[in-house]
Amino acid sequence: MFQYRQVLARLRAGDSERDIARSKLMGRQKLAALRALAAEHGWLDPARELPDEAAIAQAVGAGRRASSSVSSVEPWRELVAQWQAAGVQGKAIHAALRRQHGYGGSYSSVARMLVALRGQQPVATTVRLHFEPGEAAQVDFGAGPVLMHPDGRPRRTWAFVMTLAHSRHQYVEFVWDQTVATWLGCHRRAFEWFAGVPARLIIDNAKCAITKACAKDPLVQRAYAECAEGYGFKIDACPPHDPQKKGIVEAGVKYLKGNFLPTRSFRDLADLNAQARTWVLDEAGTRVHGTTRVKPLALFELERAHLRPLPAVAPDLGSWHRVAVHRDCHVQFERVLYSAPFALAGKTLWLRATDAAVALYDELRHVATHPRGQRPGERITVRDHLPPQAQAFFAHDRSWCVAQAARVGPACQRLIEQLLSDRIVERLRGAQGVIQLAKQYSPERVEAACQRALAHESPYFRTVKTILASGADLRAEPIAETPQAYARSRFARDAASLFAHPQQELLH
């Protein structure tokens, strides 16, 4: 409008349109339209004051609206506005108008209508949040480079980034996954990196932290809640689909991807994390931040004193999982089997896993604790968790059989040892059966039956049972008497003397 007033002043001074156009102030076609509009409103009269910019804008705008043509999409303006608000694309709107309303105009008309409607919408305003020292930190994951995993296959890494909201100082760690255990471990190492804990952590709705995303009542992962209680910070989950609430760490992840990862090569995950720590201290921490206009490490020196101190004893961080007790009285976690009381078979329990142990809970009641398994397929069993019949079977092993046989008597012990020493057939059940006979018969009878079985060189369960069933153990063992005539053999010679001098024997 200032340009329009200059042109009006020169027209009132008598300058020709050619001179004004030559000065590049306004084109001749537009200048002719302005002269006609000025003559209509009496602005060329030197006796009158020049109109202000608002009056010129109103007159020029009214003239433009009067001279402009009506859009061919105008009859369906409200319908197009509804579709635009619902997120329908312009091509789809144009096709729907042609299909449903017989619209014959071009897509360009629809596109101009969409631009005009978008311009009428109010601009979304925002407010930059300010954080006091030690008040908050923001946490997020970002995609990292692909490296060779220890299992021999290439795998994507993930960058865990925790940024202090006041100083913008960062903790960066690259990991293989986003599990609950990894999430908790990264938090512990981040707090040790800062040598303190912020009062509040602003996080996204990752499954390792939030089990149910909600703007008002988010459901926090049980293990993460224990971590927050142990370290003394509050969890502030962003509303779903609103990443601007943690824009500080979003910018930090973007800066990490654009400044650290390009032009670098990494041997393995350890080398990647070592270079990341050096980069944070030597480059990211010493740059002048674009928002605070101060170096992050310089601000961190002031913020360090406002962080909450680390607990004297680090909390025992563990991840919680729902597991089912199978028919064999075991639950499975990370391909390792852990026993549970047989009465809980078929139920679902809570399993809390730490680096050293695995604990099982029936809701709030603790039922078992096992050492953490180290290899897939390992079975960790407490014998008391098994059914009574299974406990009895596994309790009656070889050592038990020998100990029980020694209580019965020496003959029984020798018979059991012979049974268990068989190199071809496993005779554990036979040994158990001999011991069980002492409950049906007396230990004295079993001892006598074992002695009789050994005398007949038949140390088997069936022999002992037959002797007891027939009562043979109650009868005295008959003594075979040798006649006096056979006491000494007149011509009997042993084999050694018989074959000592075979050639001399032949000569005689």
Written as one string, the DSSP assignment of 212-263 is E--SSS-EE-HHHHHHHHHHT-EEEEPPTT-GGGGHHHHHHHHHIIIIISTT
How many residues are recorded in the chain? 508
What pLDDT does 63 receive? 53
Tell the residue number behind the tokens 């980034």, with chain if given: 161
CA angle 351, 352, 354 (to 5 degrees): 140
Q: What is the largest CA-CA distance in the chain?
A: 179
Burial of 380 (0-12, 13-18, 19+ CB in 10 A): middle
Alpha helices in 294-361 (DSSP H): 296-303
What pLDDT does 242 receive? 66
What pLDDT does 475 receive? 81
What pLDDT does 288 receive? 93
Tell me the C-alpha distance between 83 and 407, whole Å. Answer: 92
Listed in sequence order, the residues at least 6 apart from 317 whose beta carbon sits closer than 8 Å to its beta carbon are 181, 184, 185, 188, 223, 226, 227, 230, 354
Q: Are 253 and 159 in contact (CB under 8 A)?
A: yes
Tell me the C-alpha distance between 280 and 274, whole Å. Answer: 10
Tell me the C-alpha distance between 491 and 406, whole Å. Answer: 47
Report CA dihedral (240, 244, 247, 250) to the nearest 10 degrees: 60
Question: Is 418 in a helix, a strand, or coil?
Answer: helix
What pLDDT does 371 receive? 93
What pLDDT does 66 receive? 45
Q: Are 109 and 137 in contact (CB under 8 A)?
A: no
Q: Which residues pair with 348 in a beta bridge?
A: 324
Terminus-to-terminus CA distance in the chain, angstroms?
Answer: 158
CA angle 276, 279, 285 (to 5 degrees): 125
Tell me the C-alpha distance between 255 and 159, whole Å. Answer: 12
DSSP state of 197: B
For residue 362, give the nearest of 396, 399, 324 by alpha carbon. 324
Mark residue 471 as left, alpha or beta (left: phi above 0; alpha: psi -120 to 50; beta: remaining): left
Is domain 136-306 in CATH 3.30.420.10, yes or no?
yes
Q: Which residues pair with 197 in a beta bridge?
A: 308
Q: Which residues pair with 245 in a beta bridge?
A: none
* Amino acid letter, 287: R
What pLDDT does 410 receive? 92
Angstrom distances, CA of residue 417 to CA of 208, 378, 424, 450, 456: 57, 32, 14, 12, 17
The residue ranges of every structural domain in the chain are 2-67, 74-120, 136-306, 319-391, 396-474
pLDDT per residue as tens, the chain (508 positions): 778 888 888 888 888 888 888 888 888 888 888 888 888 888 877 777 888 777 787 777 655 544 446 788 889 999 999 999 898 999 999 999 999 999 988 999 999 999 988 888 887 777 777 889 999 999 999 999 999 998 889 999 999 999 999 999 999 999 999 988 899 999 999 999 999 999 999 888 777 877 766 656 677 778 888 898 899 999 888 877 666 667 788 888 998 998 899 888 999 999 999 999 999 999 999 999 988 899 999 999 999 999 999 998 888 888 888 999 999 899 999 899 999 999 999 999 999 988 889 999 998 899 999 999 988 999 998 888 888 877 777 777 788 889 989 999 999 999 999 999 988 888 888 998 998 898 889 999 999 999 989 988 898 999 999 999 998 888 876 665 655 555 555 555 666 665 665 555 555 5
Q: Which residues pair with 139 in a beta bridge?
A: 162
